[in-house]
Amino acid sequence: MPASPALRSPCPPGACDCGRDELLERPDADRRILHLTRQEEKRLLERLEHLKSLADLERLQQRMHEQLGLRVEIAPGFNEVRTMRGIGIRLLELPGLCRKTRQSIPAAIRRGLENHPEIAYELLNAHDLLRDA
């Protein structure tokens, strides 16, 4: 009999608003995000911090959506982009996604962009912000 994949351990009571318990109670719910254990989350964050190219980042976004149901939107902000803080990184609402994970994924992507500014330039160029430069 195949073993079921490990689920993320519950957050301490009152420390998170992820809705993990409600998600487990609903039989029709998408539980893929619960397969992101703390160990797997560390591996994901490490991978996001060591991006190689914009294509690599896009591939990771696609895999996060396929495997976890997690959508990450990355686009230049509405104002000028002078630093990496000007690039908007947003996770779409997803029941079961831990509060800390909602903060750590954008931070890891931002660190990856800071480590490789050429990826940020590619991202800006993909949105036609550097067409005249």
User: pLDDT tens digits for 57-74?
Assistant: 999 999 999 999 999 998
Residue 14 resides in a domain: no
Residue 73 resides in a domain: yes
Residue 1 resides in a domain: no
pLDDT at 3 over 60: no
Instruction: Give the span between the Cα atoms of 104 and 99, in whole angstroms.
Output: 9
Residue 15 resides in a domain: no
Residue 13 resides in a domain: no
- pLDDT confidence of residue 79: 65
DSSP state of 3: P
* pTM score of the predicted model: 0.84
Which burial class, exposed, middle or buried, applies to 74 when counting CB atoms under 10 A from its CB (0-12, 13-18, 19+)? Answer: buried
Give me the DSSP letters along 78-125: SS---SGGGEEEEEPP-TT--HHHHHHHHHHHHHHHHH-HHHHHHHHH
Residue 28 resides in a domain: yes
Local confidence band at 21 (pLDDT 50, 70, 90 cut-offs): confident
The total number of structural domains in the chain stands at 1
Residue 100 resides in a domain: yes
User: pLDDT tens digits for 38-55?
Assistant: 999 999 999 999 999 999
Residue 5 resides in a domain: no
Range of the domain at 59: 20-126
The residues facing 90 across adjacent strands are 73
